[in-house]
Amino acid sequence: MEQRPPFFPCSHKGTCSEAKCSCFKANIQCEKTCACAASCKRRFRGCTCASQGLACSRNKLCDCWALNRECDPDLCASCGAAEVLDPINRYNDALFNGKCGNVNIQRNVPRRTLLGQSEVQGFGLYAGEKLSAGDFVGEYKGEVVTKEEGSRRGAVYQHLKTNYLFDLNRAQEVDSTRAGNKLRFINNSAKAPNCEPRVMLCNTVVRIGLFANKDLEPGDEMFFNYNYPEEVTKHFWEKGQAKPSGSAYAVKTKKGAKGKGKVANSSRSSDSEFPAAIKSAPSNGRAQRGKKPGPSRRANEGRSRLGETPLRGSSTISRYACATKGKRPRLSALERQRTWQDLNDVLGEEDDESFGDSEQDFDSEENGRARKRARKARE
């Protein structure tokens, strides 16, 4: 599927063999959106699992699964794909297990996963629930860019020491750096991967799904093989191995067959384990309120590291500075009064001490500007 060009439906009279169309030249099957003759032998007709009493789920006898395709509800309706993909039945797992199981990416119901500090390097992805071999984990999402744009971005990501490009087909890649999901944080393991990516054709669109190839317990870190060449991965380490000394870790400069990678970064510590990070979080989902923060701490009031709950300041003005990124807008007296009233309504509490301090701060600034205007008028 990675060597397949982007699909564009053909449109001509007669069969593809006679017209020598784009599908014929690319040596791919015609899809339901093609406008060639209905009798064209290149058309994909769907699987016949239902007539054989088989379920379409990792079944070698299923034509769709063997061709790296998900069942199409318009072509494989008899296997139950249309019923499973009905929005009403989206979360009906009992129906999904008894009907067609080869529509995971189109169904778009990922399993629960958690993001945390990796035992290998940087951030990693952990199973949030029990998974069995063959279970669908989720879809690898991101921007679809051309190979040329992917090469340009890859040169930039090399200096940033991170790379989330994944080969989609012969002419396109998926970049989840800016528009992606948690699956981009899965680390590499060439020796003991417990997940595997699968590039599949879903309703004429090529998409990437991730499946577990081993049984996973909650809290197990997830890995899959990036398929990078050995000269790139010789400085990488597996789970349980000693990390290389020094800070000159390898930078991945080229993509392998799967084309997805994340560069090792020595600036992050990976000694802590994910379960310990979970246990350290407060049970009520909020950070404990401490003493009133000083001026040096207020600048970083709104920053929350991974694994911590969102921070809340101990005063109204500190939370207001957090919401405005530390920048105080210039407001009139009426606007200032409305701002504090709206702020207290949102926060649900009022700190009298900080409220007075903040009003005095704004009043002193406004009085200072008024004195400057009066001085200029006299001059």
Query: Residue 43 carries which DSSP code?
Result: B
> Which whole-number Å values give the CA distances from 255 to 203, 240, 271, 359, in the listed order?
27, 25, 28, 56
Are 367 and 375 within 8 A, CB to CB?
Answer: no
Residue 363's pLDDT band, with cuts at 50, 70 and 90, is: low
Whether 53 maps to a domain, the answer reads no
Whether 211 maps to a domain, the answer reads yes
pTM: 0.62
CATH number for the domain including 193? 2.170.270.10
Domain containing 329: what range? 295-378
Whether 24 maps to a domain, the answer reads no
Mean pLDDT of all residues belonging to the chain: 72
Closest listed residue to residue 156, CA positions, set 135, 136, 143, 175: 175
> Quick one: CA dihedral 264, 268, 269, 272, positive or negative?
negative
pLDDT of residue 314: 36
Whether 36 maps to a domain, the answer reads no
Residue with tokens 């040329």: 148
Statement to judge: residues 254 and 363 lie in one domain: no
Statement to judge: residues 328 and 209 lie in one domain: no
Statement to judge: residues 218 and 311 lie in one domain: no
pLDDT of residue 115: 92
* Residue pLDDT, tens place only, 281-318: 444 444 444 444 444 443 444 343 333 333 333 333 33
Query: Where a domain ends, among 241, 274, 307?
Result: 274
Whether 282 maps to a domain, the answer reads no
Closest listed residue to residue 101, CA positions, set 231, 218, 211: 211
* Residue pLDDT, tens place only, 108-131: 999 999 999 988 888 899 999 999
* Pick from 191-200, 304-313, 316-325: least confident: 304-313
* Ramachandran area for residue 203 (φ above 0: left; ψ -120 to 50: alpha; else beta): left
Domain count for the chain? 2
